[in-house]
A and B are shown apart, each in its own frame.
Chain A
Amino acid sequence: MQTSEQRNPQDIIPSIDAVEAGLSSVGYIPTRQISTAIYIAHHLRKPILVEGPAGVGKTELAKSVASWLDLPLIRMQCYEGLDESKALYEWKYGKQLLYTQILRDKVSALIGETDSLAHALDRLHSFGDVFFSKNFLEPRPLLRALEQPRGAVLLIDEIDKSDQEFEAFLLEILSDYQVTIPEIGSVTATVPPIVLLTSNSTRDLGDALKRRCLHLHIGFPDEKLEARIIASRVPGIEARLLAQLVSFVQQLRVLDLKKLPSVSESIDWARVMVLMHTAVLAEDIVRETLNVLLKFESDIEAASKQVAEIARKAQQAVVMSN
């Protein structure tokens, strides 16, 4: 954890190693590439676009960065039809209406002594835009992220699910860290937030968006890294079981499956194993719990033919020294 004295943006992330150490301290084991990305993004003030298969820890990365730097995490889940009134700001119509009702007497008292319509209007104008001020503004995630006094981690999740128009709307906030509200003006971030966008590549993102972002691709981890990740997430696991489990999952990923098991699945599986007090990865236990790893019936069928062999190979896996 960083202490709160280190507020100066340049000091928060002094080096790539600091990123690695920091993220590890909150239980996220980054690859060198991920640490480099966070470091560069922070110093160049650029958003990161994180792509990769589901469950490799894209969202988790944002959460970990936030908890490491002790910054608020502001998350915006994208979906089809998301628009700026849900992403940026909304007027509190109800409150505005209520206030006009309550203040009716005051207003009539105020303009009661005027004799002409023009005069009454002048009076009203002198009070400015009472009902279109920040008091009646409901900030949505994007605006909230800009208004955080200490900065924030802004996670724009699954950007590929949103519409193309929304993507274009994001460009202003991503390049200048400011947004424009027609009634009030531009709002610029006091401290630029660290922005992470995630995508499962269900559609190709626009070039304009990609150009403004650093592009980080997180793939499946190699055996050694995966073992470290599971060890950090499932502390109770024995070294021998861990080695076998990782070896099994790694072999499974080579098969031709609809949905390959991801890191999140292997963590779940490790938890199940610990819960069941398993010491060795035996074939029957694997068969019983295969549905934790594989999410399609056809995948389970395809894999179950080879479970025996893979499990046998996995049992020979040696404990790796970290």
Chain B
Amino acid sequence: MATVPLTDAVQPRRAPASEPLRRFLQVARGAGLRVSAAEGIDAARAVQLIGYSDRAILKDTLALILAKTPDEKVVYDETFDLYFQRSEFTERPPPPQSARPQPNTPPGSPPSEAEANASGPPLSELLMGEDSAALATAMEMAANEAGVENIRYFTQKNRYVRQILERMGLKEIEREITLLRAQETPEAQARAQALDDAMERLWDAARDFVERSLLLFARGETEQMRERILKQARLENVDRRDLERMRILVRQIAKRLATRYSRKRRRKQRGQLDVRRTLRRNMAWGGIPFLTTWKYKQLDKPRVMVLCDVSGSVAWVAEFLLMLIYSLNEVLADVRAFAYTSTMSEVSDILENRTIDDAISHIMTTIGFGSSNYGSSLEDFEAGWTCDVTNKTSIIILGDARGNGTDPRTEILARIANRAKRVIWLNPEYRSSWGTGDSDMYRYAPYCNMVRVCASLNDLERVVTDLLEKDS
């Protein structure tokens, strides 16, 4: 597109994206905005309409086209400011494309002296001169040649810094400094020292520049990678500093599931004519059934009781499971939560009356982190709450089934399972360690409709999707 010749006579309807815009779109994609080709064309047309002169209007305009959710608007705002802050965008004639080397020159092949000198005055003059803008421009140009927009990971930082400096004439400066030092005259020494200091500053500036570019071009990619890793990580291993990000991920999952399952609460029953409604609908033309109405089956929202082990190692998973379940209140009816270590207690009230993060930390501090006894916990549950278990209730039990050698009381689980619609057991341990040591998993398993390993966010999402899917 950018190669379409633009003549004054022809005003093309679909303008070729101008260079700054094209680069900005690339930056926006790097930052995680999903900009389609069609949106790129729209952006080009809009920019053609309003021009670059008023930065505020330009920002508003591109925001209309490129950012389509509140989250994206935030990312967009940051990206726009970062990008158009850069000195590169000051009106400067585009350098001739043909005279430049390919941007993707492999590292370690320094440009020839001719090239380095061709792009402007020699570096030493720039360094000693007062014109910092010229230096910045030179750095921008060198960075473009080095292809800094392809940077993706922080490990590439040093490589790009070196490449930029080499393109600006690092070799020549070093040679000059060595020569000056060899001369042993006071002026030469002083000049060498000054050049050395200036070089030091230039290194810092280049490092700074590459860091900003990394922020600009690679943020989206880095975030995506981190999120992918976090979703697969075992919840107990998740670092404390990633907690906030995990919470955001849980909310995202909940939102996705909620939108997918909140709508279809009715399903057509194939082939069953709703006679009453059909007649009513066709009254206008004498009851001749032009339009037919079919019977619907009302689908129940799943009723859920969650029994969470909040002892030791399981506690982390409990936190995320509760968070996910409670973020899904749109699609679940009547969620009740229980926490247990050796006794069972209902925590629904705490979860409903406080914000979710606050409630969970409250539960963990008051009940959590003891040693677990499944038998007595189940006994408590049967005594207190079995009367509320109906054939519409799905019971989710989260625990590693390690009762520290206490009586597992499997017969209680059997009775509960008889009453409930189904029992799902989530175990954060790997399948290979079930049944080893004090694990009673295989004793409980026969009474459960489903036993699943549940250790990462991905597992959690799969389990809850099953819960929603099987009920409808």
Residues on A lying within 8 angstroms of B by beta carbon are 16, 32-33, 36-37, 40, 43-44, 46, 48-49, 51, 80, 93-94, 97, 163-164, 203-204, 207, 210-211, 214-217
Contacts and interface: CB of A to CB of B under 8 A. Distances in A.
B263 A40 contact: no
Given A211-B39, A214-B65, A36 B57 contact: yes
Contacts of B36: 211
A46 B60 contact: no
B186 interface: no
A33 B262 CA distance: 33
Interface string B39-80: 100100110011000001100110111011110010000000
Contacts of B64: 33, 36-37, 40, 48, 214-216
A225 B64 CA distance: 21
Contacts of B259: 203-204
Interface in B1-60: 34, 36, 38-39, 42, 45-46, 49-50, 56-57, 60
A32 B57 contact: yes
B68 A46 contact: no
Given A32-B56, A32-B60, 16 more contacts: A16-B50, A33-B63, A33-B64, A36-B61, A46-B42, A93-B285, A93-B290, A97-B286, A163-B263, A204-B255, A211-B68, A214-B65, A215-B63, A215-B65, A215-B67, A217-B73
Contacts of A204: 255, 259
A98 B288 CA distance: 14
Which 10 pairs of residues, A with B, have the shortest CB-CB distance?
A: A214-B64, A215-B68, A36-B60, A210-B68, A33-B60, A203-B259, A204-B259, A97-B285, A94-B284, A37-B64
Nearest to A15: B50
B38 A211 contact: yes
8 contacts: A32-B56, A32-B57, A36-B60, A36-B61, A37-B64, A43-B49, A203-B263, A215-B69
Nearest to A175: B38
Contacts of B262: 203
Contacts of A211: 36, 38-39, 68
Contacts of B63: 33, 215
A96 to B, nearest CB: 9
Nearest to B286: A97
A143 B4 CA distance: 39
Contact of B284 (A32, A36, A40, A93): A93
A127 to B, nearest CB: 22
A164 B39 contact: no
A207 B285 CA distance: 41
A93 B284 CA distance: 8
Contacts of A33: 60, 63-64
Nearest to A96: B285
Interface string B435-465: 0000000000000000000000000000000
Contacts of A163: 263
A40 B39 contact: no
How big is chain B's contact interface, by range? 20 to 34
A255 to B, nearest CB: 14
Interface string B259-273: 100110000000000
A20 to B, nearest CB: 12
A33 B64 CA distance: 9
Contacts of A40: 46, 49-50, 61, 64-65
Nearest to B34: A207
A163 B262 CA distance: 11
B151 to A, nearest CB: 28
Interface in B270-314: 284-286, 290
A57 to B, nearest CB: 17
A204 B45 CA distance: 27
B222 to A, nearest CB: 23
A207 B35 CA distance: 11
Contacts of B49: 40, 43-44
A62 to B, nearest CB: 16
Contacts of A51: 70
A4 to B, nearest CB: 25
Contacts of B39: 211
Contact of B42 (A36, A44, A93, A216): A44
Contacts of A207: 34
By CB atoms of chain B within 10 A, which of A51, A203, A215 has the most? A215
A51 B60 CA distance: 15
A94 B57 CA distance: 54
Nearest to B57: A36
A254 B209 CA distance: 38
A210 B39 CA distance: 10
Given A93-B284, A94-B285, A44 B45 contact: yes
A97 B46 CA distance: 51
B285 A164 contact: no
Given A37-B64, A94-B284, A215-B68, A164 B263 contact: yes
A97 B73 CA distance: 54
Nearest to B45: A44
Nearest to A46: B42
A216 B65 CA distance: 9
A120 B69 CA distance: 61
B46 A44 contact: yes
A217 B67 CA distance: 10
Contacts of A48: 64
B38 A16 contact: no
A216 B67 CA distance: 9
A184 to B, nearest CB: 19
B9 to A, nearest CB: 20
Contacts of B38: 211
Nearest to B46: A40
Contacts of B34: 207
Nearest to A210: B68
Nearest to A93: B285
Nearest to B355: A256
A198 to B, nearest CB: 15
Nearest to B258: A203
Contacts of B70: 51, 217
Contact of A16 (B57, B69, B73, B286): B57
B331 to A, nearest CB: 12
Contacts of B57: 16, 32, 36
Nearest to B262: A203
By CB atoms of chain B within 10 A, which of A80, A93, A163 has the most? A93
B56 to A, nearest CB: 7
Contacts of B73: 217
A279 to B, nearest CB: 38
A47 to B, nearest CB: 11
Contacts of B286: 97
A110 B38 CA distance: 56
